[in-house]
Amino acid sequence: MAGPTDQDKLSDDWGLDDIGSAAEGAVAVDESEMSDEERAAAAAAEWAAMLEGGDGDGEGGADRVLNQDEIDSLLGFDASAGGSVELTGVQALINSALVSYERLPMLEIVFDRLVRLATTSLRNFTSDNVEVTMDSISSVRFGDYLNSIPLPAILSVIKAEEWENYGLLTVDSNLIYSMIDVLLGGRRIGGNIRVEGRPYTTIEMALARKMIEIILEDTHRAFEPVTQINFKLERMETNPRFAAISRPGNAAILIELRIEMDDRGGKIEILLPYATIEPIREQLLQMFMGEKFGRDPIWEGHLATEIFQADIEIEAVLHEQQLPLSKLLDMKPGQTLMFERSPSDPVRLRCGDVELTEAIMGHIGNHVSVRVTQPLNPPKVTMAAFEAIDETMEGR
């Protein structure tokens, strides 16, 4: 155990003597003689003295002012952070409405297929060693993406004809100049190609159009296992303001593809708004090709077999009529009820509350029998009702 000397040293290190003296100065009378209000005021004075003694410059108090870095962190604004850094603060709350692409696992499989197809097609197009890789698939807002496009670049507005909607395919300047050098026999210059601040020439636009059409054809082939879709090149723009195909706040899927030709190359970015891919949302929700959604033929066959083997009770109803309750209570043994039916009138066959068909009564030996005269009534509940229920549940 620590002796008196050690305890005094610890008190000096922690400043307990100052706190004790401040507390003694704040409480001037005996606690047993104070009222509840006086005790609360004394406790508040003691805490104030402790806070003032903890930090002389006021940074540890309740009135501390946030600096600019802390304000930016709270709001989620960080100019030095890259696009792959996770958002924080208010920006994270704003962007939380974006749908993550991970909810569409089949989409990543489709673009993995596009990478393989585009690698072969571009090798045949350039007669060079071309490598296509997928950098990332992410969810962005359309307005934020347009503002982040480095210029100069070629923005191609593409139309998904079967979906009756649009997408965007962006080719950066490094890839355009690299592709032109390869196609026109330029020298193999290492490093990045210097981007000139001039408009693209007619030859450059024509060669870029040919490359974009090849990419769109490969995209059509990549989507074939999922759905039949044709992508048509509507127009090519160099100003992002003229390539607006959606509202700035709408969410979209951004696919970044990198094309490398030895030591040169660039990026192609494909932007598909969620409204564009909405017609095939159910197909993109599949984890693997051919996944069943709700309707399983094996289960349907088993259920049909069990239904056919089930035993049910059928009632042959000769006639029904409504009587007052007073007359029903006055009925006595031997009283006769007259039915407005003749022996040749049909009777109704009923299972529970469902009327099946009509039949004529007769007898076989000592047993009463009925002969069905009409086919079974069609059921009121069809598969369309169940499909409507499934769509309603998915919408929720």
The pLDDT tens digits of the residues spanning 367-383 come to 888 888 888 777 766 66
Q: Is the pLDDT of residue 210 over 80?
A: yes
Q: Is the pLDDT of residue 57 over 80?
A: no
Q: Give ranges for CATH 2.30.330.10 in the chain.
A: 313-395
Considering only CA atoms, give the Rg of the chain.
Answer: 40
The structure's pTM equals 0.52
Q: For 277-336, what is the HEC assignment? A: CHHHHHHHCCCCCCCCCCCCHHHHHHHHHHHHCCCCCCEEECCCCCCCHHHHHCCCCCCC
Tell me the residue type at 213: E
Pick the CATH number of 313-395 from 3.50.80.10, 3.90.1150.10, 2.30.330.10, 2.30.30.90: 2.30.330.10
Identify the pLDDT of residue 385: 59
Q: Are 166 and 157 in contact (CB under 8 A)?
A: yes
Identify the pLDDT of residue 90: 65
Question: 199 versus 135: which is more confidently predicted?
Answer: 135
Identify the pLDDT of residue 353: 81
Pick the CATH number of 101-284 from 3.40.50.720, 3.40.1550.10, 3.40.640.10, 3.10.580.10: 3.40.1550.10
Identify the pLDDT of residue 386: 60
The pLDDT tens digits of the residues spanning 237-258 come to 888 888 888 888 888 888 899 9
Rounded to the nearest integer, the mean pLDDT of the chain is 75
Q: Give ranges for CATH 3.40.1550.10 in the chain.
A: 101-284
Identify the pLDDT of residue 332: 86
Q: Is the pLDDT of residue 96 over 60?
A: no
